[in-house]
Amino acid sequence: MTTARRKTAILISGRGSNMTALIAAAADTSYPAEIVLVLSNRPGAPGLDRAAAAGLPTLTVDHKAFPDRESFERAVDAALVAAGVELVCLAGFMRVLTPWFIARWAGRLINIHPSLMPSFRGLHTHERAIAEGVKIHGCTVHHVVPDVDAGPIVAQAAVPVLSDDTPDTLAARVLEAEHRLYPLALALVASGRAVVEDGRVRVAGDAASPALLSPN
């Protein structure tokens, strides 16, 4: 018996390396999500070419063409609905979303952030992790809520911070972990194994396989 795969859109603004990792995972027809649309708010984002090369529908909704944030988001929302999208993955999408959009997609909207939340919300996470002298850093896939880089955590991956790391070397190590983590986290959400309960994500079966939550 085959189960329906959840129709998923990926929202990007740039190079789209996490998008590429999600597309690669979803190329397997047994993966519980199917990528049906890649949408960028930036015309010419390199990720758009990568998605088109993989044979996926792409769309640009240029935020600069809209008078305000909400009208931009209404256009994005209409495109998602038209494509039959059920789940949305933000992957380097550099627009803060309004409470209206977040409420509309609540529980179906996830993001990847390059830190072990709740540490280092915001920008320049690798530089700040080095400055603080932390020895473990990493990345988090979480549900999107109106607070930026907050929300119920689906899964996390950790990497060591080495004494000679620069923000670039640390970013590269975290990015490799991101590419393993995001496909795993989307699979948990799309399959219904990861469910938000009382503001936290409960993952069915994690006691038997803790690696579900952290692909280190």
Give 104's DSSP letter. H
Q: Which is nearer to ligand GRF, 90 or 203 (CB)?
A: 90
Angle (CA) 192-148-190 rounded to 5° is: 15
Nearer to ligand GRF, 72 or 182 (CB): 182
Q: For ligand GRF, give the closer residue by CB, 176 or 195.
A: 176
Query: Strand pairing of 136-143 and 109-113?
Result: antiparallel
Phi-psi region of 55 (alpha: psi -120 to 50; beta: other; left: phi over 0): left
Residues found near ligand GRF in the complex (CB under 6 A): 12, 14-19, 91-92, 112-114, 139, 175, 178
CB of 174 to ligand GRF, least distance (A): 7
Q: Which residues are catalytic?
A: 113
Residue 114 or 151 with smaller CB distance to ligand GRF: 114
CB 19 to ligand GRF: min, Å: 6
Half-sphere exposure of 213 (CA within 13 A, CB side): 14
- Residue 98 and residue 115: Cα distance in Å, rounded? 23
* Paired strand residues for 196: 201
d(Cα 58, Cα 214) in Å, to the nearest integer?
A: 30
Q: Smallest gap, in angstroms, from Cβ of residue 130 to ligand GRF? A: 16
Closest approach of Cβ 183 to ligand GRF, in Å? 12
